[in-house]
Amino acid sequence: MEKYSIGLALVITASLFSLGWILMGSDDTPEKADPATLAKEKALFDDICATCHGINGNGDGVLAANLQTKPRNFTTGIFKFRSTLSGQLPTDEDLSITIKSGTHSTAMTTFETFSPEQIWALVQCVKTFSPRFSDPNEYPLKTISYGNEIPFTRESIAKGRKAYVEMQCNKCHGDAGEGNGSSADGMADNWGDPIQPSDLTNPSNLKFATSPAEIFRTLATGLDGTPMPSYSGAIPDSAMWYLANYVYSLQTHQGYYEPIKPEETE
Amino acid sequence: MKYRLQNTSVFCFSSLLVVLILSCTVITPRAGAIPLFARKYKTTCFTCHVSEPMLNEFGRRFQANGYRIANSEPKTPTWDQLPIVLAFAVTPSVIYAHSRDNITNEVTDSRNFSTYGVDMLTAGDFGSRLSWYGDVTVDPKEGAGLESLFLIYHAGAINFTLGKQILRTLFPIQFTLGTTDYLAQSYEPFADGSLTNKGVPIGGTNTLLLEKASYAVSAFGWVPDILNGFRYELAFTSGNDGVDLNDAHALFLSADQTIYYANNAPFKVGLWYYAGKQRLYDFDSTNAVWNSDGHDNLLWRFGIGADIYDPWVKKINLTGQYMIANDDNIYNGSSFGQQRMTGSFLSLTAILLPEKVYTYGRWDHKEVNELKLTDTQWTVGLKYHFVPNVFLFGELAFDNQKIPNRLDKSTTTLSIGTLIAY
């Protein structure tokens, strides 16, 4: 009986797989969501996002108490992952990317199975929680400049290694980039929640760092609300590219660098 | 003296457990387990679990939505993507049990190493409307077994399933921590009948048990627009492992309501009802064979329950359930006829360190009227997320079963183990 049931289940599975293939939907991108859609997606926010971010978007959903990386408090208008200068609001595209891709190694899951309409409407929902988004003085948003990208080469990595020491990145991220620098302990974000510097050697610990360009973005924008500052304007774009290439080499373990010795940091 | 020594052993084990877990707390690795759905959705286990296996609010909604995020529409995978969502879990543990018969003063001790087998888990999408879930257990002693395998057809706020599955009661084991069975939820009337040691209990394998997977067709879903969410299920089921499917049928209904009563803290209240008929085959003790004719037993189970988080820090969860189980024609210890069980549990779970350390306690109680059996169980435990994909746990359970002038048995069980999931 058991074998017969398994066999029958496999036949049904194969048949329904074919049916599912045929019934797959489309993903046309709309230009704008209407108010009814926004109301519907606010309900979606309450159903899905509010478990972490809270009904009012202030980051105190029921899951927050059990998470090391706390959910974003949307009411402050402070966001870590942006393409805009430090202190500025994120663009719609920035919010869209975060929602769609999630932030791995945290409880913020990917919502890539949502339609573009749903993502867009959730972005609008998030923007309703902070008055900053409706303040004309916040606009226009200034996005960072990437300057001239410097290729990922041994020479640029070596220069990035030098910049890593000079900018004292090791104080937080450690000599080997493992997130265990002398200042790493006891760090907190703007809300007083404990925070640890990223382990730059662990790809699963770094958010939005799948390429030197993404790392450059983090260096240029900083991670607002955390101790990670923006280096835009503080060092040349070229130095940020060197740093980005060095950090990328750390996480990809390509061995293009010599470990930093203690005497170099003195 | 022997009893005192055994108590000393339990104390030593407990002390060892406490030292082990306290010593572990000084290690603070960044943790992120990657079990089945976490891998699929590229997230950590804490998106859906308080700590494995206890589901959090997001996980409950995910489950109620047919193991999907609400309103999402996964694309049809290509063939090379199908094997990606494959995970396994293994739970090796050491279990020490000390039992004492308070009537005869007989003492029994046992130590076992349990692997729980290896669970091979798979789930995925055939398209925007269709998905599957499967769980195969490979046990060195028992071989491979199909724990569950079912298809889900998604139609918005309603999902249809077909296959072998555990029915989604208001409080399945995923809703609290702990490895010890719930007395009420795992109630098996024939097992209790054997406690009397009088006559031969009638039974066989033809049972309908809530905690085990059944062959079922089910409709369930999540309606987010009713207050803060309403969950329901209607299912028809046909027995469980080794069951003659023509002889055991039951109807299952379940519904619960969620409301954020204060400060985003959820409160749930719900009920479920399970009723059916099963054919029981009587044992001919003279010839030591099962009679082929047998008789019917009409059964029903009814449960109500509630679940609440504290509104201040939302780190304390309190869950409780009351359940009645009725069988109208089984051997109840002295004759054929009705047997009724009433049982309940109250469970408290506390988050000590987020994503890392948890503690829990549970009180279970049941009474079987016709047998005059009372069973009370206390369980306390600690769970520690040691490193990514690895949990350590320790649990101490005390159980006392009583039948006036016939049975008075106390059992203390200590379990120490690890859960490895990848």
* Residues A260 and A170 grouped into a single domain: yes
Show the domains of chain B with their CATH numbers: 2-421 (2.40.160.10)
* Residues A162 and A251 grouped into a single domain: yes
Distance of CA A134 to the CA centre of its chain: 24
* Residues A119 and A184 grouped into a single domain: no
* Residues A158 and A260 grouped into a single domain: yes
Contact B46 A67 (CB under 8 A): yes
Q: Is residue A60 situated within a structural domain? A: yes
- When scoring A66, A73, A204, A207 by the number of chain B Cβ atoms within 10 A, the one with the most, hence best to mutate, is A66
Locate A42 and state its tokens.
Answer: 């606010």
Please write the tens of the pLDDT for every residue from B44-68.
889 999 988 889 999 999 988 888 8
Q: Is residue A239 situated within a structural domain? A: yes
Q: Is residue A18 situated within a structural domain? A: no
Task: Enumerate residues 57 to 116 of chain A having a beta carbon within 8 A of any beta carbon in chain B.
Answer: 60-68, 102, 104-111, 113-115
The last residue of a domain, from among A112, A138, A164: A138
Please write the tens of the pLDDT for every residue from A224-240.
999 999 999 899 999 99
How far is the CA of B377 from the CAs of B345, B362, B399, in angstroms? 9, 8, 4
Q: What is the dihedral of CA A48, A49, A55, A59, to 10 degrees?
A: 150
DSSP string, B319-371: EEEEEEEEEEEEE-SSSEEEEEEEEEEEEEEEEEETTTEEEEEEEEEEEETTT
Contact A16 B151 (CB under 8 A): yes
Q: Is residue A143 situated within a structural domain? A: no
Q: Is residue A71 situated within a structural domain? A: yes
The secondary structure of chain A in percent helix, strand, coil, rounded to multiples of 5, reads: 45, 0, 50
Q: Supply the CATH number for residue A133's domain.
A: 1.10.760.10
The last residue of a domain, from among A138, A167, A202: A138
* Residues A95 and A52 grouped into a single domain: yes
Q: Calculate how close chain B gets to A26, using CA atoms only, in Å.
A: 9
| Chain A / chain B CB contacts < 8 angstroms | 151
Q: Which DSSP state fits A84?
A: B
> Nearest to residue B323, comparing CAs of B366, B362, B287?
B366
Which chain A residues have a beta carbon less than 8 Å from that of B227?
none
The last residue of a domain, from among A82, A105, A138: A138
Domain with A121, as residue range(s), is 35-138
List residues bridging with B384 in a β-sheet: B357, B392
How many domains, chain A?
A: 2
Question: Which of B58, B128, B351 shows the shortest C-beta gap to A65?
Answer: B351
* Residues A174 and A118 grouped into a single domain: no
ipTM of the complex: 0.83
Q: What is the rounded CA–CA span in Å between residue A193 and residue A195?
A: 6
Question: Which of A25, A51, A110 shows the shortest C-beta gap to B41?
Answer: A110
Please write the tens of the pLDDT for every residue from A84-115.
999 999 999 999 999 998 987 889 988 888 88
Q: Is residue A67 situated within a structural domain? A: yes
Contact B245 A109 (CB under 8 A): no
- When scoring A8, A21, A47, A111 by the number of chain B Cβ atoms within 10 A, the one with the most, hence best to mutate, is A47
* Residues A124 and A169 grouped into a single domain: no
Q: Calculate how close chain B gets to A214, using CA atoms only, in Å.
A: 19
* Residues A40 and A133 grouped into a single domain: yes
Question: Which of B30, B266, B354 shows the shortest C-beta gap to A66?
Answer: B354
User: Would you say the pTM of this structure is higher than 0.90?
Assistant: no
Q: Is residue A45 situated within a structural domain? A: yes
Residues B231/B221, Cβ–Cβ less than 8 Å: yes
pLDDT tens digits for chain B (422 residues)? 444 444 555 454 455 444 444 433 333 333 334 467 887 787 888 999 998 888 999 999 998 888 888 777 776 665 555 545 577 888 888 999 999 999 999 999 998 887 666 888 888 888 888 888 888 888 777 677 888 899 999 998 899 999 998 888 766 556 678 888 889 888 887 766 665 544 334 444 545 677 778 889 999 999 998 999 999 999 998 875 544 445 678 999 999 999 999 999 999 999 999 999 887 766 666 776 666 667 788 999 999 999 999 999 999 999 999 999 999 987 766 677 888 999 999 999 999 999 999 999 999 999 999 889 999 999 999 999 998 889 999 999 999 999 998 899 999 999 999 988 87
Q: Calculate how close chain A gets to B79, using CA atoms only, in Å.
A: 11
Q: Is residue A216 situated within a structural domain? A: yes
* Residues A253 and A218 grouped into a single domain: yes
Which chain A residues have a beta carbon less than 8 Å from that of B125?
20
Place of tokens 């490979």: B138
* Residues A79 and A124 grouped into a single domain: yes
Contact B73 A46 (CB under 8 A): no
* Residues A61 and A163 grouped into a single domain: no
* Residues A80 and A104 grouped into a single domain: yes
Contact A12 B41 (CB under 8 A): no
Q: Calculate how close chain A gets to B162, using CA atoms only, in Å.
A: 9
